[in-house]
Homo-oligomer: A and B are copies of this chain.
Amino acid sequence: MGNILSFSCDYLEGAHPKILEKLVETNMLQTVGYGLDEYSASAKEKIRKACDAPEADIYFLIGGTQTNATMIDCMLRPYEGVLSAVTGHISVHEAGAIEFGGHKVLTLNHINGKISPYDIENYMKAYMADQNKEHMVMPGMVYLSQPTEYGTLYTLKELEDISSICKRYKLQLYVDGARLAYALGAKDNDVTLKDLARLCDVFYIGGTKCGALFGEAVVIPKHGYLPHIFTMIKQHGALLAKGRITGLQFDVLFTDDLYTKIGKEAVDYANLIREALYNKGYEFAFHTPTNQIFIKLTDKQISQFLDNVNFGFWEGLEDGRKIMRIATSFATTKENVDKLIKLL
């Protein structure tokens, strides 16, 4: 708060103003609880249309870690584990939530946050050939995030390859879309909601980091794919009593394609910043086409910014420099982007 501008992450503000308007407008109406209300129903119907998945089961959960832990536990049998990039959110930053549910995260190498179809296939070949495989955790699904934790994107070709390998090895495919709006809004992105619904067994459309107060919309394209999921959500403490609060947020986000618009605007702002950084000679840690930018700064450079703007710390480098994250969001304004560019 105060006068220092922050670009450190994409959950610094509340919600898109239209969401608050809707909350205020509907506040004193009475509805049943637990997501069985008409706002949730309307939001689900809009998401089904956007995904071209008329049969899809849709549930609204509250946060990303909770959604990953609950859905992975619903999808796996006890003897199965989940394949993930070693940098995947479930592998590093969920405090062991997947293991709390009894499942092992089986890690694969990453390239800027992405796993390659080739690595999945090699893992499965080695597993299938292993004489001790019955003493090992059986891979039951692949977890990936779009965009990844590094702000990178899978292409449609890559996702189709991964999906095809998954089918061949009877692995389920799950996509974590915590920042999905910023993938959908990226210039070169060629993966649509319809593609995700066609290729994934389960995926979620992130609200928390894309303009909602909180909330993630789980999409299960095939109706009845996860039996008794309502009870599993309750068991995981992920069932909101006033379920309509999440429902109406997604109803707003999926009205007039607001969700993609939010993503596009944030990525456009990120591109302006990216261009300015490039022109002024800043060094990028790796290329990203979404709302997150990663640059290498010296401590001196970082301290010069500190009076005016906050970036997010990402990781230290061996040469003493640091990778810092600049993130735009649904709340970023042209005015603040201009301010930042002047400070560069």
Contacts and interface: CB of A to CB of B under 8 A. Distances in A.
Interface string A300-318: 0000000000000100100
B230 A94 contact: no
**Of A1, A104, A230, which is in contact with the most chain B CB atoms at under 10 Å from its CB?**
A104
A257 to B, nearest CB: 22
Interface string A201-245: 000000011000110000000000001101110111111111001
Interface residues of A, number: 79
B30 A13 contact: yes
B208 A79 contact: no
Interface string A62-86: 1111110110011001110100000
Interface in A228-278: 228, 230-232, 234-242, 245
B135 A241 contact: no
Nearest to A93: B135
A158 interface: no
A106 B98 CA distance: 13
A117 interface: no
**Of A92, A96, A240, A331, which is in contact with the most chain B CB atoms at under 10 Å from its CB?**
A96
A35 to B, nearest CB: 11
The 5 closest A-B pairs by CB, nearest first: A66-B237, A14-B27, A95-B234, A95-B235, A12-B30
24 contacts: A1-B31, A11-B33, A11-B242, A12-B32, A13-B27, A13-B28, A14-B23, A14-B26, A17-B27, A20-B20, A28-B331, A65-B237, A69-B237, A93-B136, A94-B235, A95-B232, A95-B235, A96-B235, A100-B101, A100-B235, A134-B230, A138-B231, A208-B242, A209-B241
